[in-house]
Structure 1
Amino acid sequence: MPADLAVIGLGHLGLPLAQAATAAGIPTIGYDPDPHTVAELSAGRLPSEGPDGCLTAAEVRRMLSQGFRATTEDAELGRARTAVICAPTRLGADRSPDVGAIGDAARALAPRLRPRTTVILESAVHPGCTEDFLRPVLESGSGLRAGRDFHLAYSPSRVDPGNRRHGYATIPKVIGGLTPACTEAAVAFYGRVCDRVVRARGTREAETVKVLETNYRYVNIALANEMAVLCHGIGVDLWDVVRCAETKPFGFQAFRPGPGVGGHSVPVDPNCLAGNGTGPGHPLRMVELAREINSRMPRYVTERCTTLLNEHGKSARGARVLLLGVSYKADIGDQEGSPAREIASRLMELGAQLSYHDPYVAQWRVSDLPVPRAEGLYEAAAAADLTVLLQHHRTYDLQGLAVKAQLLLDTRGASPAGAAYRL
């Protein structure tokens, strides 16, 4: 059965697109090389090791009832008029995005690529990846020419898992094609799914939008984190400072500190291109410094834990420490890049007896060791020498927790003033 859309990669990027397209009445297939992922989705379930927060099992079942199909068969890709590659990318050892999964997706698609098909990349990549990496793989595997025989474009993903205000359709979609005709072909597709599309000059401009958006968040969080350390040292309530500063109607956007920075959108430094002679030859120094500051936060949180215990006559060794919220973001269970694991590892090295509570994470391992899950939240907080809020899930009553906990360290500034020690 022909499909208008093939979504390649059914993770945190691909599933929201497939859901939005299916809801818009676009015949959609989802391709993923992992049989487990496809089997779970086909049965109306979320993969146990898959993304959390982007969809619910009920939404998957609704997609299936609307005609969505998940498959591992490469041949299915040849039936789609539009193919969107949503393969995962993570930073490699050289701090550049690992595009291996994108290459695998392109090699699966290329032999089945038909003339006049529109191919769009949504994965987070370095500027130039669509033209310099993806294009040659598709052309060599298909015998077709991008911009002449098929359309090629890039559109940065702006998915925000767990965001109840902004869904796929309501977030403006940036699109940059290899040629103006490629841009318009991609615009024609996304116009069926999104309320607004924004045309970039080309693929490189669209790719660099993602670099700017991600680094903007990362750098500003670093500033907030550095301010948190400074304010604690001089006895200033940073959370009150931010509350007041964000009343300014221009020139300021509030960012808040935390125990570290997690998530799938990692900071990208265009200097990663310098090795192949196409980069600028110098780093983004602001991003480098932000990375240094943000990567220090788990160690700083651990130090605050040991200091609090010492001030109350207790040693970290043997102390019962309860960690609340181990996901990277509130109200989802996705642990990608969460600082909780490093904080837990450091506390374990100091001899602390750890337990955790997270309504979205049923099991948790640190350094290949299982961490006991607290079933009774208030009882566990009362029994722990120190309770540390790492992620503020909506289900947490911090006023009640502050009453029950012997010591409460709030790394998110979510507790009422004076009810807990804040980062």
Structure 2
Amino acid sequence: MKDLLIKKIQDKTAVLGVIGLGYVGLPLAVEKAKMAYKTIGFDVQEQKVDMVNAGQNYIGDIVPEELTCVVASGRLTATKDFSFIQDVDCVAICVPTPLDIYQQPDVSYVIQSTEDIASYLHPGMLIVLESTTYPGTTEEIVKPILEKTGLKVGQDIYLAFSPERVDPGNQLYNTKNTPKVVGGVTSDCTEVAATLYENILEGKVERVSSPAVAEMEKILENTFRNINIGLANEMAILCHKMGIDVWEVIEAAKSKPYGFMPFYPGPGVGGHCIPIDPFYLTWKAREYGYHTRLIETAGEINNYMPEFVLERSMKILNRFGKALKNSNILILGVAYKQDIDDVRQSPALHVISHLEANGASVSYHDPFVGDFTLNNKEYRSIALTAEVLQDADLVIVTTMHTEYDYEFIQKHARMIFDTKNAFKNIVNRDNIEKL
């Protein structure tokens, strides 16, 4: 059965499925279709399904023409009808795995997707979980649901975990060329899953011994970044107190050709991975009676940064005899990173919440984010004119978009609080204060 499925993958007669057509799932579905596989995308959101079937792109990392091409050719279709899983040979689960209000993993989307698959499961099928989650999810949650059908993993069906490594806005690495890690429940599972990705992607496929290794590897990637960003943020706080430019410190440290990797401070940590993934591990660690002190401390520091931005903003305004209450604050950039339209977990939103909770009047401009809703209030990006800059009591840069004309901003703003070192190349910095 394994050899038959591998042959279908290699000769491209296998039908591939992707559950969840978001930032991870849709790019993966497009890459599968580009390699001449018949691909079916599944999503519960009718709007996404309709847009895909119309060839309309809504993910920044996808080349719109590529989506249009694979849809027009019939190689990619989308549906809300999960019964079509019965026609699929290999399916990837790419659904959200958020934290609940208690900072505990919410795997309900994974469970629901697995149950949907189980309803139409058939022998000789490969299931790959790509959603980031805690070690053990594939074997402790997904596997039992599938095996309730009477089909055995490694014998009748194949199950693996292969973590997504999407980095929105990255101009060098994307779904196609980023190396892939694959860990199957059995060696046959690993072989089938690795064969699939090797026939779709250009990046190296790294095979590991189990789903748990692959799950932990993904958590390590983002925990590494979270901790080092936490260190950079703590250095920024301390350097400010000591009257030292943290950005100059980092640049100097970068001159060492070994033993140092630069990370940068900012108004907080955003996105769908770094602020969330480490907490999967802290939660799971409690099962083993271990307290992940370093991980949680880094999280506390990073979560404090929006409040630190608030405190600094108050002090900047005070120097000009202005209270934060009733002041006019202009936020530049609300996306969680530069040159993308994603506001998930964006620290800028937390900064806005803190400012408004203390009586400030806040407006924003972002060339990529036209509007968003926060605390049941709708916000719209305003035009970035000389008058708007001049009217602001304080301009806070929270996202360093490359589209911004920083000389223009510096020229017309009364006072700027730069949390991203966006004005590093500006000579006249009399009206700029850095993080």
Shorter-normalised TM range? over 0.9
1:24-103 correspondence runs (5 A): 24-46=35-57, 52-55=59-62, 57-66=64-73, 67-103=75-111
- Cα pair 1:402 1:408 within 8 Å, conserved: yes
Q: For residue 153 of structure 1, what is the aligned residue in structure 2?
A: 160
Any idea what SS the aligned residue of 1:198 has?
A: strand
Q: How big is each residue's C-alpha offset from its partner over 1:195-214, in whole Å with a ceiling of 9 and x where there is no partner? A: 21001111100000011001
Q: For residue 107 of structure 1, what is the aligned residue in structure 2?
A: 115
Whichever residue aligns with residue 67 of structure 2, its letter is V
1:370-409 correspondence runs (5 A): 370-409=378-417
Any idea what SS the aligned residue of 2:89 has?
A: strand
Residue 354 in structure 1 maps to residue 366 in structure 2: no
- State the distance in 2 between where 1:171 and 1:236 align: 38
Residue 17 in structure 1 maps to residue 51 in structure 2: no
- Cα pair 2:57 2:64 within 8 Å, conserved: yes
**CA 247–27 in structure 1, closer or farther in 2 if over 3 Å, else same:** farther
Q: For residue 335 of structure 1, what is the aligned residue in structure 2?
A: 343
- State the distance in 2 between where 1:219 and 1:343 align: 21
1:179-190 correspondence runs (5 A): 179-190=186-197
Whichever residue aligns with residue 283 of structure 2, its letter is C
Q: For residue 267 of structure 1, what is the aligned residue in structure 2?
A: 277
- State the distance in 2 between where 1:23 and 1:56 align: 12
- Gaps (5+ residues) in structure 1? none
- State the distance in 2 between where 1:376 and 1:398 align: 11
Q: How big is each residue's C-alpha offset from its partner over 1:357-382, in whole Å with a ceiling of 9 and x where there is no partner? A: 01111113332223353113443212
TM-score (norm 2): 0.91
- State the distance in 2 between where 1:321 and 1:33 align: 39
- Cα pair 2:369 2:381 within 8 Å, conserved: no
Match of 1:313 among 321, 327, 333: 321
- Cα pair 1:9 1:86 within 8 Å, conserved: yes
- Gaps (5+ residues) in structure 2? 1-12
- Cα pair 1:96 1:126 within 8 Å, conserved: no
Q: How big is each residue's C-alpha offset from its partner over 1:87-124, in whole Å with a ceiling of 9 and x where there is no partner? A: 11111234332110011111111121121111100001
After the TM superposition, which segments of 4 or more aligned residues of structure 1 sit over 6 Å from their partners? none
- Cα pair 1:6 1:77 within 8 Å, conserved: yes
Q: For residue 209 of structure 1, what is the aligned residue in structure 2?
A: 217
Q: Say what the alpha-carbon RMSD is for the aligned residues.
A: 1.6
- Cα pair 1:6 1:28 within 8 Å, conserved: yes
Residue 164 in structure 1 maps to residue 164 in structure 2: no
How many angstroms does 1:151 deviate by?
0.6
Whichever residue aligns with residue 278 of structure 2, its letter is V
Identify which range, 18-27 or 222-231, moves more after superposition.
Answer: 18-27
How many angstroms does 1:221 deviate by?
0.4
Count of residues in Structure 1 that have an aligned counterpart in Structure 2: 414
Whichever residue aligns with residue 421 of structure 1, its letter is E
- State the distance in 2 between where 1:251 and 1:280 align: 32
**CA 74–248 in structure 1, closer or farther in 2 if over 3 Å, else same:** same
Q: How big is each residue's C-alpha offset from its partner over 1:219-238, in whole Å with a ceiling of 9 and x where there is no partner? A: 00000000011111111111
1:118-129 correspondence runs (5 A): 118-129=126-137
Whichever residue aligns with residue 63 of structure 1, its letter is V
